[in-house]
Amino acid sequence: MIRLLALALLLLGLPASSPLAFFADLKLRLLESSAGPYDPAEQTRRLSAISSAPGVQLVTFQTCPFCVKARSYLDERAVPYTDLVIDSKDPLRIEMLKALGRSSVPAIWLGGSFVGGMNDGPEGSPKGLKAVPDERLQEFAAQ
């Protein structure tokens, strides 16, 4: 499949060295287009404030099934959290894509460390909120 994609990119005159980079660039352009005019410095500040805040921080959509599960998961464990509910056109997603390589929600930070979503996470870390041991989550419940 990747070879077919690389061939298609070559036929279109695009670099085939990284077909996934093509899609990442396309996603960034789509997010920028849907967000409309925005202040990149303000969005970088917003993301920095979220990612450096103590406790549990969420960036979610109101009705996203995995976002609802993340909130319920934390509620069941009596872990307090701050939930920034955004919509699909929020330019914060652009900065998330640039900084984290992903713009999906929920995006979850524990004490300033990005853990990913509900059941997926960045390379070299627990795979999302469900992979974080309850003992670690209880540290935040005690705060």
Domain boundaries in the chain? 39-141
At 70, phi and psi to the nearest 5? -65, -45
The residue with greater pLDDT, 125 or 62, is 62
- Per-residue pLDDT at 33: 86
- For the segment 68-109, what is each residue's pLDDT rounded down to a tens digit? 999 999 999 999 999 999 999 999 999 999 999 889 999 999
For the entire predicted model, the pTM comes to: 0.80
What pLDDT does residue 17 have?
56
Task: Please give the Cα distance from 102 to 117 (Å, whole number).
Answer: 10
Name the CATH superfamily, with its identifier, for domain 39-141: Glutaredoxin (3.40.30.10)
